[in-house]
Structures are given as structure tokens and as C-alpha cells.
A and B are shown apart, each in its own frame.
Chain A
Amino acid sequence: MSYKISEKTRAKIDELRKIYPQKEAVLIPALHEMQKEAGWVSEDAIDALSACLGLPYARVKGVVTFYTMFNRAPVGKYHLQVCRNISCHSMGAPRILSHLKEKLRIAEGETTEDGLFTLSTVECLGSCGTAPVIAVNEKYHENMSVEKTDMLLRELGLQQ
């Protein structure tokens, strides 16, 4: 199945080209746009973007694999990203992570069968003063505890 870059994203890419003197510079912003639409960056999407920008496939793939925010497999509706770094760690992130694994019955990097949740650990989110932090998609949930995590899961529609 080949991937077609949407009209909207193509228009965005054309807009972006005006901001930079070199076409390669739109690569990362364009990948963000594509992921926003599809939820992840597939091999076909890489193919399509390399054709669109006139760049070698390997050049685009090299960038996709370097940056952790580009999902290389589909993720659930809610991507739970638990910060595992020093301040979150010392303020209780490991407990929250194991609680999430237990509740969702998945391991790190996995998605629940209903496609609702993907669980990941991430490095420092730059919000250490409100540790522990969980990012759900692009939104930060700060000062988390096991209880607040349960509330969050309920709000997001976890069936008990």
C-alpha cells in the first residue's frame, strides 16, 4: 500500500520551504506534520517524503531513526510516556510505571489490545520540579502519584 501525502500536509511543506534557505531543513517539520496525521511514520511514508523532497530514502530514514519522537509503529490512542530520569525516578516514577504495567497488562513499548494505550518510558521531559511526570500524547500530567494515575486512566476510558 503506498502512502499519499495529504493536500494539507503538502501545503504545509510548501509553507515551510519559505522559512529555510535549504529544502532539507523542512525534513523534520514535515515528519512532524505527517505523524500528526497518521500517528506514526511508516516505511511508505518515508518513501513518499523522500520523493516529495527529492532526497534519498536513506537520508530520510536516517533522520526518522535518530529522533525518538517519531513512532516507527502505530501507537494507541493515548501514548503514555513515563519519565524515567533522575528527579522523576527519585520521586516515585518506578512505582507508577510498574502500576501502569499491572493495570494495562502490557510491558514497556506495547499497546493494549483495544488500541487505547501505548506505554513507553522517556528521558527527562524538562519538568523535574513537578516530578513524577507522565506525558499523554503531547500533554504533560505533573506531580503524579499512583492514585492520580488511576484517575487519569479512568478519564481516558480504561475499562476496569
Chain B
Amino acid sequence: MMEKILLKTEAADIEAYIKAGGYQALRKALAMKSEDVTAEVKKSNLRGRGGAGFPTGLKWSFIPKANTKPRYLVCNADESEPGTFKDRELILKNPHLLIEGLAIASYAIGAKQCYIYIRGEFAKETGLLSDCVNEASKRGYLGNNILSSGFDLNIAVHRGAGAYICGEETALLESIEGKRGLPRLKPPFPAVVGLFGCPTVINNVETLASVPAIIEKGGDWYSKLGAGKSAGTKLFSVSGPVKKPGVYEIELGMPFKKFLEDYAGGMLEGSKLKAVIPGGSSVPVLTAAEALKMNLDYESVQQAGSMLGSGGIIILDDKACMVETLLVLAKFYHHESCGQCTPCREGGGWIEKLLRKLEAGKGKEGDIALIYSIAENMLARTLCPLGDALAMPVMSFITKFRPEFEAHAAGNGCGKREAGSGKSTQ
């Protein structure tokens, strides 16, 4: 049976959440030593659900014990990776699970102040979270001397203002500090020098919402869910031409084929699966054949040649023109580059320009090799992963769908102008 943790109860209302057993894990955590809470999360093998998959307990343990400065927990709710919309769903359906997770994590790392950085476009979600924080405070789950434990915690909801890069954790910290969202050079890592120069842990919404169940039922229990090193359950967002796009919670390790058929409802009538971007738009694209062989866990997706990332599964069908699709992504990453690193700032612009030419049938054969080489020179040569986030799609799109790029270079286009990809009206 598939275990559900994150979307088990859908209780935006605090009374309903408490009735369903909510805030009991916080009570349990507050009776434990803070290092034991971290140890339990380590034992669970929970990995960061924002995209990087870094072990959560380990991240918490990087906070230097001897440092006497204030400590901060920051919740990354800046969900902006194209194809990813799970955190929004989680916030709307189960906001108190997140707040309980925040409280437990704050206790574990010794933070008395927590900031939820939520993307500016999520106005409704910002209001909902602020209301929920107030309700939880009123009932003594936040604020001073929580549940008579002596532990104090305040949570502030901080709204972004439209910048994809602020999902990168150090850019996010800059943004809370009221600056342009420019990623920082690491080290020092945020655990040592983070928000306002203090030790800081930054975790994704889904990661933090996974914590209460780990405390309630134990790290061992959680580590046995899922598949091997990919422990636990994960939210997958699926979008594109499928019958039931949406957010689904599954145990890691499910075959993608089963997920596509049983959860996403299969392809729309008249659509044939062509390609899959399995972890948000910045990971390498997979052909249908590659995708249908993989399982949805970190190791299997990597083996297939891509990354699980945020679990934002973007489905592309036979009507999609790969040159046009890549152009959409290139335009995005070029626009969102913060401009600090030359390879990303300039490379993104060059790639967009060349793809635009290619897509319009004005490209030359050498352009494909040039685009590829620019991407190769962006890869791993920037402060943050935004350069890679364009380089990886570019290299994989060209490698796996080269004939389409060649047809465009030869001026033959792709014959998809009438096929509903939007070209017929542009």
C-alpha cells in the first residue's frame, strides 16, 4: 500500500488539523533533546525536496554548536522552477503540517526566528500562511514558551517580488535582507554565515512538511518507505498533455510508466508521449523510451540520464517542436540570470538568439554545434546552478533530438506549425 504523509489529511483549518492528530509531533519533539530530533531526521534519510536532494539531518547538523549568534530557519517557498507546483498545493491543502515542521526544525537547530520566503505571485497562499501562523500562535504552538517547554519561536511570512533566482538559497537570503537576489560565493555556507550573518538552515516546504511524521513514527519507519537511498514519499507535479495533470504523493521508486498511467491518467487522446523532463525544467530531457524504463527515485532517474530534482514532471507529446520548446526555456533562463557570472549572463543570451534564428528557419548548420559549445562552456562555470540549469536542457535536447535541430538548420522547420504548438498563431 502506498503510504501518504504530506497529503494524507487535507486540513487548512487548525481545528481539523488538531483533531487529525496535528501538533502531537511537536509536543513529542519538545520533550526530546534537540540533538535527538536531528538524529531522528538523519536516521530517516530524508533528502531535500527542493531539487538538490541533500540529506536534511546532515544539513541541520552543520550549524556550529559553539556559535553564540542567533540562528535562523528559513523555509524556501519560492517555488518557481517551471513544471513544479507541489509546494503551492501543499501550502493550500495542509498549511499546518508545514508550520508544525517549521517549529520542530527550529527547535532542532535552536532557532527562535523563522522566515518563510514565499514567491510574490502566491498572494492567496501568503495570506493563508499568515493566518495559519496567527492561529497556531493563538493556540500556543508558536510564540513564547511553546506548550510550556520554554522554547520560543516566531514565524514571519516574507513575500518575494518576482525573481526565479531567489529560489537559490543564498540569493534568497540576500532577498530577505532587502537586496537584489544575487547568489553568494560559497564557502562560507549558510550554516555558518547565513541570514544577517548568522548560522542559518534553509529547507524547502516539502522537506519541512515531511518532518512531523518522522518525529511521530520514527526515522527508521520513514527510512523503510520508498526505495533504498531514496527514502520516504515525495510529491510529484505532472503537467502537459496528460488526462489528469496535478500533484500526487507517492513513495519514491514507483515506475514512471505506472505513475503516468495510474496517476496522471495517461496521455490525452491523440497525443503520443515524446519526451519527459522529470525534475523541473532545468534537468536533462529524456526520450519516451528512456523515461518509460526508469523509476521515480533519485538513483533510477540519474541512471536514466537525468535528475529527480523537484519532481516537476513535464510531459511533451509528438506535437511539441523541440527547437521551439528549448527556445522557451532559453528565453526564461536568459531572463532570470542575475548577471553576476559572464558564462550565464552572456551564454544565455547567445543561446536564445541562435535558437530564435534556428526556429525561424534562418539558422545555419554550424549553429547547432555553436549552441552546444556555448552550453558546454557554461556548465559548472558559474557561482550558482542557474548556468547549469540552461546548459543541461540545451545539451540534452540537442543530443537526443538532433534531427529536429538539423531540419530547422536546413530551413525545413519541423512541420508542426499547424499542430497546436501555438506556432500557427504567432
Contact = CB atoms under 8 A, between A and B. Distances in A.
Interface of A: 19-22, 24-29, 31-32, 62-63, 66-70, 84-87, 89-95, 98-99, 122-131, 135, 138-140
A98 B82 CA distance: 22
A67 B245 contact: no
Contact of A26 (B162, B178, B181): B178
A54 B203 CA distance: 32
B314 A86 contact: yes
B161 A90 contact: no
B82 A19 contact: no
A45 to B, nearest CB: 14
Contacts, number: 157
A22 B122 CA distance: 25
Interface of B: 70, 79-85, 87-88, 119-124, 154, 156, 158-164, 175-181, 196, 237-241, 245-247, 277, 281, 312, 314, 316-317, 320, 325, 328-329, 331-332, 335-336, 420-426
Given A28-B159, A89-B325, A98-B425, A126 B240 contact: no
A90 B82 CA distance: 12
Contacts of A126: 79-80, 84-85, 87-88, 119, 121-122
A32 B161 contact: yes
A67 B120 contact: yes
Q: Which 7 A-B pairs have the closest CB atoms?
A: A94-B422, A27-B178, A67-B161, A128-B239, A69-B162, A68-B162, A138-B123
A95 B422 contact: yes
A19 B159 CA distance: 13
Contacts of A127: 85, 88
B160 A28 contact: yes
Contacts of A31: 161
Contacts of B426: 94, 98
Given A128-B82, A128-B85, A123 B336 contact: yes
Given A32-B159, A68-B163, A95-B422, A87 B314 contact: yes
A84 B331 CA distance: 10
B83 A86 contact: yes
Given A24-B177, A28-B161, A85-B332, A125 B121 contact: yes
A28 B348 CA distance: 27
Given A69-B121, A86-B314, A24 B81 contact: no
A114 B207 CA distance: 47
B162 A135 contact: no
18 contacts: A20-B176, A27-B178, A32-B120, A62-B179, A63-B178, A68-B161, A84-B328, A87-B83, A87-B240, A89-B325, A90-B422, A124-B332, A126-B84, A128-B84, A129-B247, A138-B121, A138-B123, A139-B124
Contact of A66 (B181, B241, B335): B181
B82 A131 contact: no
